Amino acid sequence: MSSASDPVENLRTLIRCPSVTPAEGGALGALEAMLKPLGFETERPVFREDGTPDIENLHARLGSKGPHLAFAGHTDVVPTGDESAWSHPPFAAEISDGMMYGRGAVDMKGGIACFVAAVARHVQKYGPPKGSISFLITGDEEGPAINGTKKLLKWAADRGETWDGCVLGEPTNPETIGDMIKIGRRGSISGRVTVSGVQGHVAYPHLADNPLRGIVQVAEALLDPPLDDGTDQFQPTNLEITTIDTGNPATNVIPASATLAFNIRFNDRWTADSLKAEIEARVARGAAATRLRPGKSAALKAEVEWPTPVSPVFLTRDETLISTVAGAVEAVTGRMPALSTSGGTSDARFIKDYCPVVEFGLVGRTMHMIDECVAVEDLETLTAIYERVIADWFAGRP
């Protein structure tokens, strides 16, 4: 049996690579070493953009014809935090009481380790697939996500590659392997509101305009009423105010301006344009409602900025891909997984522009936490599910 067929050893190798974003840390090299003996052709393109770190990525493909099934993921991990707070060193991959500890254990080196093992077992039992399997692995998912999956997909597509479906190995299960498949995601948009006033001494308020009066009214207008109550496939749109700041360290100075930042996770009732229009109207309403001191005749000035790109809402409707993954989960675990669009964003937002994509991986309860860990038995279960996905996906195809 190929050494790559053991998901525990695969994961141990990957965790021991300290690939904190944006460092490659040896993880892509380790993964390449697992895949080449299985017959994969590999490349490691590096993408660049001004103002962002250079990112190395991995493209690996087994086979040259369709149908083409891709597995996507990332080997980069978030920082460990206080390493002394870990019960086991974060890059040691130690096993204790049936749990493997390490940064990236579930998010998402564990998913990659299991898919590699599943491919190795499939090749050992049946030979190469009746088509192609590829890995699209980035080192930029936990970072800016600029020089990673988005550019890797375009790079491959520009060379003529197409995909019929993709499994993204993010941790999707809330409690137990088999709980949930992600078939879409709400969109994400971030904004910033700046209310301008007139700086002055707090003892002479008639000579100043306090922008905090306006920022409070703007906040109320943004939050009430709720943007919607959800749709058949998606949770309600939610707007969260993440910071209010004046940059003012003094307690005896009325600040010149106040800034409010927010993020919205939105469903398919909205487009980016319609949501921006609604927010801008609410901001204007809040600014107009601000009660000014006597003698002040003009409303405070409020401006809205949209500093980052919008992540669009999407829903996968490919029944072949969904039923293949759901059927594999049920066959291995006996559970019929929920089809969900909950949670935050992922690189699926880029993949959906090229092919149908679903997300299924490990239990995510400890991701990004101190003592991130995965049950060793879950690694075997996920490998068996992925192995069934591969077999069922290619079964009966010409």
Residues involved in catalysis: 76, 141
| Token pair recorded at residue 164 | 């019929």
Indicate the pairing of strand 184-185 with strand 257-266: unpaired
- Rg value, the chain, Cα: 25
Residue 74 labelled as part of a binding site? yes
Indicate the pairing of strand 58-62 with strand 41-43: antiparallel
Amino acid at 388: R
* C-alpha 51 chain-centroid distance: 21
Residue 380 labelled as part of a binding site? no
CA distances from 299 to 170, 188, 217 (A): 47, 30, 12
Report the C-alpha gap between 360 and 159 in whole angstroms: 28
Residue 97 labelled as part of a binding site? no
Report the C-alpha gap between 177 and 50 in whole angstroms: 41
Q: Which residues contact 337 (CB under 8 A, 6 or more apart)?
A: 178, 179, 180, 181, 326, 329, 330, 360
| Token pair recorded at residue 21 | 């974003």
Report the C-alpha gap between 57 and 148 in whole angstroms: 7
| Token pair recorded at residue 174 | 């809330």
The region that residue 215 occupies, defined by phi over 0 for left and psi between -120 and 50 for alpha, beta otherwise, is alpha
Determine the Cα angle at 139 with ends 135 and 351, to 5°.
50
Report DSSP state, residue 311.
B
Residue 201 labelled as part of a binding site? no
Nearest to 150 by CA among 30, 276, 272, 312: 312
CB atoms within 10 A of CB 240: 11
Residue 107 labelled as part of a binding site? yes
Which segments are annotated as binding site?
A: 74, 107, 142, 170, 368
Which segments are annotated as binding site for Zn(2+)?
A: 74, 107, 142, 170, 368
